Amino acid sequence: MTIAYVTIAGLLLTLVLLRQRHPVPGHLDVALQGWRQLQPLITRIPLALIAGSFLAALIPEAVVAAVLGDASGLQGILLATAVGAIMPGGPMITFPLALVLLSAGVGLAQMVTLITAWSVLALHRVLVFEIPTLGWRPTVLRLLACLMLPPLAGLLTMALALRA
């Protein structure tokens, strides 16, 4: 957790210094913009974490570990691709759920696959945003090009874990 604090503080300091070279907009305006974006999170994040913590206590860990654990290998990676693709909702739903699944024994490669599939395939987002704005042909073309990214990310993680 300390590294996370240091990273955030370092990035923030760099950006504050960078802004110092262009006096517009003022730091106060930026902070106000930040406050506007923070407001909806003040209620969401605590409730999401509490819900996640209770779900973690209820989830049958043996089942999760068997189908998506480190030992589930390529099969687990393919299953994680499917689960990630159909997982609905934004990051406020996905990341607390991911935390629950990690503590229930989902493997590292399978988790990377799941997050990647949720990011690039995201069928709910395809239906709600992508087809209406880009049209179905470009959407299909993008999905075809991105279909292999989640398993690839999982396999790369596996290779990395084997070397480490």
Partner 1 sequence: MADNTGTRRAQLRTWVDGTTMLFLALSLVGGTAVWMLRGTGEFVASLSTAIGMIVAIAPIVVGAVLIGAYVQALVPRSAMERWLGRSSGMRGLLIATVAGALTPGGPFAAFPIVLGLYRAGAAFPVCVTYLTAWSLIGVNRALVWELPLLGYDFTLVRILISLPLPILAGLLTRLISPWLAVERP
For 149, the 3-state DSSP assignment is: helix
**Minimum separation from the CB atom of position 66 to partner 1 (A):** 21
Least distance between partner 1 and beta carbon 31 (Å): 7
Smallest distance from partner 1 to CB 75, Å: 20
Residue length, the chain? 164
**Which CB sits closer to partner 1, 38 or 71?**
38
Burial 34-46 (b: 16+ CB within 10 A, else e): eeeeeeeeeeeee
**Among 46, 128, 50, 115, which residue's Cα sits nearest to residue 80?**
115
Closer to partner 1 at the Cβ: 53 or 75? 53
The CA angle 161-91-95, to the nearest 5 degrees, is: 45
Nearer to partner 1, 44 or 65 (CB): 44
Q: How far is the CB of 50 from partner 1 (least distance, A)?
A: 4
CA 39 to chain centre: 21
Q: Which is nearer to partner 1, 66 or 159 (CB)?
A: 159
